[in-house]
Amino acid sequence: PVPTDPVIRLTEVNKHYGNFHALRDVSLEVAKGEKIIICGPSGSGKSTLIRCINRIERHDSGEILVDGHRLTGDTKDVAAIRREVGMVFQSFNLFPHMTILENCTIAPRKSRGLGKAEAEERAMHYLTKVRIPDQAGKYPGQLSGGQQQRVAIARALCMQPRVMLFDEPTSALDPEMVKEVLDTMVELAEEGMTMLCVTHEMGFARQVADRVIFMDRGEKIEEAAPGAFFTNPQSPRAREFLQQVI
Ligand code: ADP
Ligand code: MG
């Protein structure tokens, strides 16, 4: 089915790093409210794809539309995209010398123009949502990895993004903290957030994904409903990959 309201649309996107062809004619659409999981071996271009959508990297050819904005060289577009796209990385990337509350209020104050009180009220709302309101006055270094990643999610939500991009958000966490972050992500999914998520947490993928995309060597090899993908992957490379991660 063709999504009626694509929040993200890539058409035949290519990206090179020097001579290395990192993305090969990748096309995909994410409709409003959809949850798409991207998986694939290390080096297959998953992060590059996410980074092109958020315009951390610039693609060479093809078209990327985010919330109706076409990603070009124009810096105005980049600012618009950053406001609409929430991003959570493997490393939490919190500002170490700011409190949790300050980490969550800086972007809304700067780029949404919120006043201090309003930004703090919003931050406390999302910190409560990720179940760490009591940590607001602390510094990132005083929190566990799982708590820091939940702050990173709250910080992204404070911008009230149209879509959330996740790049292996649990890969750097100790095993006992993975669940608390995945639980937060499941809640977001259930509330209807549009999500594009690189992860090898296949239980999570089965639970929330509308579609799973399998990438290998810069190509989108497969795109399927999770049930079909996990029980009957079409390509030998996907079968091999699933044997390794499940
Ligand atoms: P994945 O996230 O699937 O592991 P990446 O998108 O990070 O893969 O990387 C895809 C390929 O592009 C890898 O072979 C990687 O070494 C290469 N690559 C990624 N970033 C750069 C860069 N900044 N410069 C050169 N090569 C890069
Ligand atoms: Mg990666």
What spacing in Å lies between the alpha carbon of 126 and ligand 1's midpoint?
33
- Residues with CB under 5 Å of ion ligand 2 are 46-47
Looking at all shown ligands, the one closest to residue 57's CA atom is 1
Indicate if ligand 1 lies below 6 Å from the C-beta of 45. yes
- Residue among 10, 8, 36 at smallest CA distance from 229: 36
Instruction: Give the list of residues 6+ apart from residue 42 with CB closer than 8 angstroms, or none.
Output: none
Q: What share of the chain in percent tops pLDDT 90?
A: 87
CA distance 93 to 74: 26
Burial of 16 (0-12, 13-18, 19+ CB in 10 A): middle
Q: What share of the chain in percent tops pLDDT 70?
A: 98
Instruction: Find the distance separating the first CA and the last CA of the chain, reported in whole Å.
Output: 29
Beta strands in the chain (DSSP E): 6-17, 20-31, 35-39, 61-66, 69-70, 85-88, 163-167, 194-198, 211-216, 219-224
pLDDT for 3 beyond 50: no
CB atoms within 10 A of CB 35: 26
Q: Supply the mean pLDDT for the chain.
A: 94
What spacing in Å lies between the alpha carbon of 124 and ligand 2's midpoint?
31
pLDDT tier at 132 (50, 70, 90 boundaries)?
Answer: very high
DSSP state of 142: G
pLDDT for 1 beyond 50: no
pLDDT tier at 4 (50, 70, 90 boundaries)?
Answer: low
Beta strands in 76-210 (DSSP E): 85-88, 163-167, 194-198
pLDDT tier at 23 (50, 70, 90 boundaries)?
Answer: very high
Q: Write out 58-70 in H/E/C secondary structure.
A: CCCEEEEEECCEE
pLDDT for 93 beyond 60: yes
pLDDT for 99 beyond 80: yes
Model pLDDT, residue 63: 94
CA distance 132 to 187: 15
In this prediction the pTM is 0.95
Q: pLDDT tens digits, residue range 148-171?
A: 999 999 999 999 999 999 999 999
- For ligand 1, atom 26, which residue shows the shortest CA distance? 17
H runs (alpha helix) in 130-174: 145-157
Burial of 157 (0-12, 13-18, 19+ CB in 10 A): buried
Q: pLDDT tens digits, residue range 24-82?
A: 999 999 999 999 999 999 999 999 999 999 999 999 999 999 988 888 877 777 888 88
Model pLDDT, residue 82: 84
What spacing in Å lies between the alpha carbon of 165 and ligand 1's midpoint?
18
pLDDT for 2 beyond 60: no
CA distance 231 to 246: 12
Burial of 56 (0-12, 13-18, 19+ CB in 10 A): middle
